[in-house]
Amino acid sequence: MQTTDFFKDTFEYNYHFNQELIQLFEKEKQIIPEKSIKLLNHLINAQEIWNARILNQDISVAVWEIRPLENLKNHNETNYNQSISILNSIELSKKIIYKNSKGIVFSNTVQDIIFHVINHSTYHRAQIASDLKANGIEPINTDYIFYKRK
């Protein structure tokens, strides 16, 4: 499998489990802990921000901004489509110069950023699972291998 194909697969995995989490949150919205809501918004917002950085676009969301639950599926789908478009149109080795949320300038390749987005999302989904379990809510298993077994 080529690197671009692998990243497309990981973005599909990321999209799939984000959508499943959003569905769980909608189903159990009265009892979902605030921390889990913040983390889910954060990982979706972060992907949007990284996509905008790669595309040299204005950033229209704050990294810890809380959006209405009913809008998260659309934001997640837009992120997925934009990430796939990036993979189809920009070389993974291209250097991206960007400012972080504190205004400090950095430079990374598209491949570095894409790997970070997937890893970051996986990390926060694990935090969400721990938070849900600690609050008596059965978390979904979002491990990559479970996605591949389907």
pLDDT tens track for 25-51: 999 999 999 999 999 999 999 999 999
Query: How much is the pLDDT for 23?
Result: 97
What is the percent of the chain with per-residue pLDDT over 90, rounded to a whole number? 93
Taking residues 103-109, what's their average pLDDT?
97
Query: How much is the pLDDT for 149?
Result: 87
How far from 138 is each of 7, 22, 113, 142, CA to CA, in Å?
29, 14, 32, 12
Residue 150 has pLDDT above 90, yes or no: no
Three-class DSSP category at 109: strand
Residue 146 has pLDDT above 90, yes or no: no
Query: How much is the pLDDT for 101?
Result: 86
Q: What is the mean pLDDT of the chain?
A: 96
Give the pTM.
0.95
Kindly give, in sequence order, each residue whose CB lies less than 8 Å from that of residue 74, ignoring residues fewer than 6 positions away. Answer: none
